[in-house]
Chain A
Amino acid sequence: MFKTLHKYASPMHFHALARRWSTPLLWLSAVLFAAGLAGGLVMAPADYQQGESFRIIYVHVPSAWLSMFAYMVMAGAGAVSLIWRVKLMDALARAAAPLGASFTALALATGSLWGKPMWGTWWVWDARLTSELLLLFLYLGYMALQSAIDDRRAAARAGAVLAVVGVVNIPIIHYSVEWWSTLHQPATITRLGAPAMATSMLIPLLLMALAFQLLFFALLFIRARSELLEFEQRSLWVRELLGQGSPR
């Protein structure tokens, strides 16, 4: 078990694994998207309060979940890299940042498009929205740091410290709706207790969340491959790989 783990933590093996899995993940995600969209846009009934506008939930909630999940990947990889000095983790953290930033921006934009018709405003400075905006700035700060520092290892280390420090924002985002009064409502789906949502509406949401999640892993793998090639450009396996002609 530990041996397998060690094997896949090697850049060469992870690169091969990522090459094998990205395309199947993309296809699986596409199938789930088709099912989730059919369920969410056509089959799910309109909401008793919000009517048809509630269908924005099927893109808003998965992107909001991913915005936090991507950060946990980035910060977790950063912490492992700081402690154990694993190159693969630097590559994963660098790959996760632009993905996390884009899903955070998407969560904010779709939330705004949902807030306008329902709440009556595009934006409010309540604790939930503000902490999610802070998350976007953490991602952008990480990316700026990566492009500002030329030395790849120094950049990865500085970024990892930023990511680890910023991780305190994640529980704040999650619990903001419970700790303080906010315009944003509390969570519909919680770990404990039944979800506050009819089953016909819930199933498409779970399908969409899974589709987003698999797409995230596919994108993470593709991006991590580029990072690994750059990190390891002087090693033999990269030379051999490139010598064999460009892998698609």
Chain B
Amino acid sequence: MTNELREFFAMGGYGLFVWSSYGLTALLLVGNLVLAVRRERRVIRELSRRLPVGAGHDPA
């Protein structure tokens, strides 16, 4: 690792705080996306199972 890179990751001695902030942010943003997409898939799967096309009124 070059000196410049090492310096970049050290963040002037605040590396732990800076990188945990960015790591947490990345985790939360990606997690939000994954959860939202998974929820939509689950809703679609359940509704298609519960509501066959052409069926009458189906009390949920």
Contact = CB atoms under 8 A, between A and B. Distances in A.
B21 A60 contact: yes
B53 to A, nearest CB: 4
Nearest to A241: B44
Interface string B10-28: 0111100110111011001
Interface residue tally on B, bucketed by range: 20 to 34
Contacts of B36: 219, 222-223, 226
Nearest to A29: B29
B57 interface: yes
Interface residue tally on A, bucketed by range: 35 or more
A230 B47 contact: yes
B44 A219 contact: no
A242 B53 contact: yes
B33 interface: yes
Given A109-B24, A219-B33, A234-B60, A117 B14 contact: yes
A214 to B, nearest CB: 12
Contacts of A113: 17, 20-21, 24
Residue of A105, A106, A116, A240 ringed by the most chain B CB atoms within 10 A: A106
> From DSSP, what is the main secondary structure of chain B's interface residues?
helix
Interface string A198-220: 00000000000000000100110
Contact of B24 (A110, A222, A238): A110
B43 interface: yes
A247 B17 CA distance: 41
Contacts, number: 99
Contacts of A26: 33
Given A56-B18, A59-B21, A243-B53, A106 B28 contact: yes
A207 B32 CA distance: 20
A59 B40 contact: no
B51 A233 contact: yes
B15 to A, nearest CB: 8
B28 A102 contact: yes
Interface of B: 8, 11-14, 17-18, 20-22, 24-25, 28-29, 31-33, 35-37, 39-41, 43-45, 47-48, 50-51, 53, 57-58, 60
Interface of A: 26, 41-42, 46, 51-53, 55-56, 59-60, 63, 98-99, 102, 105-106, 109-110, 113-114, 116-117, 215, 218-219, 222-223, 225-226, 229-230, 233-234, 238-240, 242-243, 246-247
